[in-house]
Amino acid sequence: MTSLLEVNPTVRGIRPPTSLHSLAARITQEISQGVEKPFQQVIDVSLGDFHRAGMAPISFVRQVLAASLYSELLQDVSLPLDARQRAQKLLEACNGGSVGSYSVTACGLPYVHRSIAEFIMRRDDGVTSNPEHIISSSGSYKALSIVLHLLASREGETQTGVLTPAPCPHTLPALLDEAGVTLVPYRLVEERGWAVDLDELHRALRAARGRCNPRAIYISNPGNPTGHVQDRKSIAEVIGFAAAEGLVLLADEVYQDSVYGLEQEFISYKRVLFEMGREYFETVELVSFHSTSSACMGECGLRGEYMEVINMDPAVFPYLEILQASPPVLSLLALEVMVNPPTPGDLSYQTYSQEILHSQLTLSQNAQRACEFLNDLPGMDCRPGMGGVFLYPRLNLPPQMVEEAQMLGVQADVLYCQRFLEEEGVCLGAGSENGQQDPNYHIRLCVLAPAATLDQVLARLGSFHRRLLDTFP
């Protein structure tokens, strides 16, 4: 079994902002200083930051957190009784009964970890989950960063390699670099809706050996930014591949609550691992991740995340605790609410379920509408999303624009996004940020936003895109 104990917890630095986000910030500042623009504000749909895009927070989440922060609200009858009771229970689980105290352990609050374990068992139809194997963290990629630093070792041919999908989450390449590990890309198959291909995994692994030491494979399900949702067969193939090659399996499942494709469902890697029998569930090292940044919660700013660790050497846990260094208590409380929401019969259940349903319907309807719109634009091809919050359409850019981008020293998709931002005030993500190395160009668009906001984005995109094609006939 691959051991995570060969550690080198060296931090290499902090990732600087991308040029597109720097440009968006500069334009926003210019607007505030009175500079005239053809738009009044920048709309950012490059990130999965739903509240920034205009989606409302979930009432029960904010009510519980408000009462946890200000205990006077525990007696305020304007808040639902079950929200106040939940806040009281959570405060009792905190040191000193306050969110201002350090967490009970370096890895989080045992009360919250028990709730997470119960959630996992409900989700996975009774598969056992041990609260002691759950570690809370702060930030969407803090937990992953910790594991990567533990995996990192040496330089050159002996430097740790991590198999990484192309495309991948746009923050991942820099995170791997910071941890001192080599990114080993494996291409997702766009023609099959960005599916994972077993032959491609073997090709990537063979190509990596000799230049690094592959020790792990990272995968996001639902896919970020592709929206692909894996079925049981695909997940079992990846697990079998990891088992045969002695790789640690890193499963990013943060968008598990946002599957909307026809006849699609989320199935966790842990559930399939245990369905495959003792040969696998007693040997394969699996680390799975979930976060309050998920589509239903949308609480990106609270920076709440947990990871569940399967088959890790117990001697590694002290290193995880040292690197974790006590996550923020408020983010832990948000995690508890996420995994333990109101249930039928609770006072807040009707409001909670209506708000969640609104978010889910907005996501699915926006994804369908946006995909149809993008496919109607000349020179653009968009695969239907099945889950997650992004669409990832391909651009067939005019050769003149590609040549201009080369002269300017930028990727052509970045130049496309820069011009769109400057002319229409909308910030998209460029596919080259997502680890795209092939000759195709893509853009990344978050579709979880109010319908009116998405309508503005699509209208401006259509106008800009057609104007651009007229410029380069």
CA–CA dist 362, 121 (Å, integer): 28
Most confident among 92-96, 99-103, 140-144, 193-197 (mean pLDDT)? 193-197
What average pLDDT score do residues 398-420 get? 93
**pLDDT of res. 48:** 87
- The more confidently predicted of residues 263 and 129 is 129
CA distances from 269 to 1, 92, 132, 299, 381 (A): 18, 33, 19, 24, 30
Is residue 325 very low, low, confident or very high in pLDDT (cuts 50, 70, 90)? low
CA–CA dist 193, 202 (Å, integer): 20
Q: How many residues does this entry show for the chain?
A: 473
What average pLDDT score do residues 46-71 get? 94
Q: Quick check: 268 pLDDT over 80? A: yes
Q: Quick check: 323 pLDDT over 80? A: no
Q: Quick check: 41 pLDDT over 90? A: yes
Question: What share of the chain in percent tops pLDDT 70?
Answer: 93
Task: Indicate the average pLDDT of the chain.
Answer: 91
Q: Quick check: 10 pLDDT over 50? A: no
CB 188 within 8 A of CB 166: yes
Second-level CATH architecture of 19-56+352-471: Alpha-Beta Complex (3.90)
CA–CA dist 83, 331 (Å, integer): 17
**pLDDT of res. 294:** 85
Q: What is the location of CATH 3.40.640.10 in the chain?
A: 89-339
In 246-293, where does DSSP find H-type helix?
269-275, 278-281
Structure tokens at 82: 């079950």
Residues 287-310: pLDDT tens digits?
A: 999 999 887 889 999 989 999 999
**pLDDT of res. 11:** 34
How many CB atoms lie under 10 A from the CB of residue 327?
A: 27
CA–CA dist 222, 125 (Å, integer): 19
Residues 135-181: pLDDT tens digits?
A: 988 866 788 888 998 898 866 668 999 999 999 999 999 999 999 99
What average pLDDT score do residues 357-380 get? 97
Structure tokens at 205: 């692994």
CB 425 within 8 A of CB 38: yes
Is residue 438 very low, low, confident or very high in pLDDT (cuts 50, 70, 90)? low
Is residue 265 very low, low, confident or very high in pLDDT (cuts 50, 70, 90)? very high
Q: Quick check: 108 pLDDT over 90? A: no
Burial class (CB in 10 A: 0-12, 13-18, 19+), 277: exposed
- In this structure, what DSSP letter does residue 190 have? G
Query: Class assignment of domain 89-339?
Result: alpha beta
Q: Quick check: 320 pLDDT over 80? A: no
Structure tokens at 145: 């960063």
DSSP characters for 99-157?
A: TTSPPSBTTB-HHHHHHHHHHHHHHTTT----GGGEEEEESTTHHHHHHHHHH---SGG
What average pLDDT score do residues 12-31 get? 74
CB 249 within 8 A of CB 280: no
CA–CA dist 421, 42 (Å, integer): 8
Q: Which residues contact 414 (CB under 8 A, 6 or more apart)?
A: 19, 20, 405, 430, 432, 433
Can you give the pTM of this predicted structure? Answer: 0.92
Mean pLDDT lowest for which of 17-21, 133-137, 238-242, 315-319?
17-21
Is residue 18 very low, low, confident or very high in pLDDT (cuts 50, 70, 90)? low
Q: What is the location of CATH 3.90.1150.10 in the chain?
A: 19-56+352-471
Structure tokens at 403: 């040549």
CA atoms within 13 A on the CB side of 7: 20
The residue behind tokens 């803090």 is 142
Is residue 102 very low, low, confident or very high in pLDDT (cuts 50, 70, 90)? confident
CA–CA dist 29, 26 (Å, integer): 5
CA–CA dist 65, 342 (Å, integer): 14
- Residue type (1 letter), 160: T
